Amino acid sequence: MDLDFWWLLVIPVAFALGWMAARYDLKALLSESANLPRSYFRGLNFLLNEQPDKAIDAFIEVAKLDPETVELHFALGNLFRRRGETDRAIRVHQNLLSRADLPASERDHALYELGQDFLKAGLLDRAEETFRALEAGDYALGAQRALLTIYEIEKDWNRSIDTARKLETMGAASLDLEIAQFHCELAQEALQQKKPDEARRQLDLALKANAQNVRATILTGDVEAAAGHHEAALAQWRRVEEQNASYLPLVAEKVMKTYEALGRAEEGVQLLTTWVDRYPTNDVLDVAYRYVENLRGLDAAHALARAQMQKSPNLAGMMRLLEAQQATAEEPRKSELELMRTLIRQRTKNLPRYTCQNCGFRARLFYWQCPGCSGWETYAPRRVEPITASS
């Protein structure tokens, strides 16, 4: 009974204390709100109504009335940068950095935002200098990521590798995929400079970073082919099937030309037709069709195109099928087939061939690094068919 009595006393006391605390918080909030300029609330209202131009004007007025509003300066700078007014964003953040009373954490924040302004404006040297000043603290990781972006833009692959490794030590997720691509870029440069030994060294490092890097395997085959080692080149390019068969379109022509150089063209055609059967793609079919026609005749090429059309109807296969039929047709059927081929060719010749799986950027050429989002290995190495049976 005593326990029940004390509970009856505790409950109203706790309720009273909670009510008093809520009243105090409410008074503090109202007091703070009363001290804010009306322009601040007008700016917020404009933002909520998706009127950024009017919001910026209102916030500029607040900043003039109350220079101590640090967070408002950050918001204003970000709004300027998002609108592309990088010169105004830079002035806002430089103004913050000029304040002697700015706390260290806010100074790092202002430096980071200023670096982003420089980066957006394309002032890479100034952006790099700013981000390099953030070696430690809450913004160090973000600064290193920005530095990596800068080095990739500048194609400074050695510093890209160093920065990626540093990011990993700072707790970032593994960047082995990117690092392997950086080594491939260095290998590509070495090949252009006629330095095969350096190219091999970089490709070994690429495969050490990422054993499934198809590009390194393809480039290793290129190094061997340039040295006249045709069998070794073929061995590398045929490894692509084991690593990732979707990249076979990138080596089909190389493989066939090497088999021709070795005097074993029929063996190469047999391999290509096997690939077409196992991994149907328009690009491999295009290569196989030409060589089948040269070695085995038009009927064999026609049969190959017809078989692929039955498996996966598409415009590229239709073009080959029409070509084969036209070669043996008589007038006026031949003219009709030529008209159909012309119409399909006009429909497809200017269409993008590849689509980035990350950002959707479409391009006619294959890229290892997307020009849109700068992601690595985001393009499927097979053409996007503009019109297929499913569409």
* Mean pLDDT of the residues in the chain: 79
Q: Where do the H-state alpha helices sit in the chain?
A: 2-35, 38-48, 52-65, 70-82, 86-97, 104-121, 124-132, 140-153, 157-169, 176-192, 196-209, 214-226, 230-244, 252-261, 265-278, 282-296, 298-311, 315-328, 333-348
Residue 388 confidence (pLDDT) = 42
| Residue 364: pLDDT band with limits 50, 70, 90 | confident
Domains 67-169 and 174-250 share a fold: yes
In CATH, what number does 67-169 get? 1.25.40.10
pTM of the model: 0.74
User: How remote is the C-alpha of 194 from its chain's centroid?
Assistant: 30
Q: Are 265 and 291 in contact (CB under 8 A)?
A: yes
Residue 220 has what pLDDT?
Answer: 95
DSSP 245: G
Omega prior to 332 cis, within 30 of 0: yes
Structure tokens at 187: 């290998």
- List the chain domain ranges: 67-169, 174-250, 264-349, 351-391
3-state secondary structure of 143: helix
Pair 279, 245: CB distance under 8 Å: yes
What lies within 8 Å, CB to CB, of 358 at 6+ separation is 370, 373, 375, 378
Q: How far is CA 48 from the centre of its chain?
A: 31
- For residue 262, the surrounding DSSP H or E stretch is none
* CATH of region 174-250, choose from 1.25.40.10, 1.10.10.60, 1.20.1740.10, 1.10.3720.10: 1.25.40.10
Compute CA distances 288 → 129, 232, 254, 292, whole Å. Answer: 53, 22, 12, 6
Mind listing the pLDDT tens digit for each residue in 71-98? 767 777 787 788 888 888 888 788 778 8
Q: Residue 207 carries which side chain, given as an amino acid letter?
A: L
Q: What is the pLDDT of residue 152?
A: 94
3-state secondary structure of 364: coil
Q: What are the pLDDT digits (tens) for 103-137?
A: 888 888 989 999 999 999 889 999 999 999 998 88
Q: Between 12 and 143, name the one with better pLDDT.
A: 143
Task: Please give the annotated binding residues, written as ranges.
Answer: 356, 359, 370, 373
pLDDT tens sequence across 167-194: 999 888 999 999 999 999 999 999 999 9
According to the model, what pLDDT value does residue 360 have? Answer: 81
Residues in binding site for Fe cation? 356, 359, 370, 373
Tell me the percentage of the chain whose pLDDT exceeds 70.
Answer: 74
Q: Which tokens hold the place of 170?
A: 């700072």
| Contacts with 156 (C-beta within 8 Å, 6 or more apart), sequence order | none
SS3 277: helix
pLDDT at res. 358: 83
